Amino acid sequence: MRGSRVALRYAKSLFDLAIEQNQLDAVYADMELVEKTCTQSHDLVVLFNNPIVNTDTKVAITNTIFKANVTPLTTAFLNIIITKHREHYIPAIAAEFVEMYKNHQGVEVAYLTTAVAVDEATRSKVLDIVAKQTGKKVELIEKVDAAVIGGFILRYGDNQVDTSIAGKIHDLKKEFEKNLYVKEY
């Protein structure tokens, strides 16, 4: 559900409220925690999506998990979301908020997928290239995926550079499917 309009609207509302109350950095840290917790805890996401569990129980569980570690503004926001029966959007709202904050701070997030971990020199070179292209500070998120086979896939903004062997094999398969040399009558 990441990128849904509902999640974007709730994230924007929280973002504006956090700015208004001068708590933007604190709420950003809270939303990072919520996003990370939802990513790591499949059970929590299942709880949010379960219509059988009543609202009071969901509020109590959410408060038990987050109340001691987040600001009162974030706690109240999460309680309102759950009370309005929109709790299944919480992971997406947190992700949208984090993205809004980074855009607000002038940070471009780049995703680098490689077959093996990259060294510091390569990481630095990638950061420099993306920084020159975007004119922003760059946060690099690295992922090691053996399916890439070799090369890399770099995504940032609306751009993607795919120099992976797996990508080349895929392109080659598509070319062979065309089979320009067989006459069809």
What is the mean predicted confidence (pLDDT) over 8-26?
97
pLDDT at 175: 85
Domain boundaries 5-103, corresponding CATH code? 1.10.520.20
Radius of gyration of the chain (CA): 21
Distance in angstroms (rounded) separating the CA atoms of residues 16 and 62: 23
Q: How do residues 124-175 score in pLDDT, each as one tens digit?
A: 999 999 999 999 999 999 999 999 999 999 999 899 999 999 999 999 998 8
pLDDT higher than threshold 50 for residue 1:
no
Q: Which residues pair with 107 in a beta bridge?
A: 137
* Residue spans per domain, the chain: 5-103, 106-178
- pLDDT tens-digit readout, 53-99: 999 999 999 999 999 999 999 999 999 999 999 999 999 999 999 99
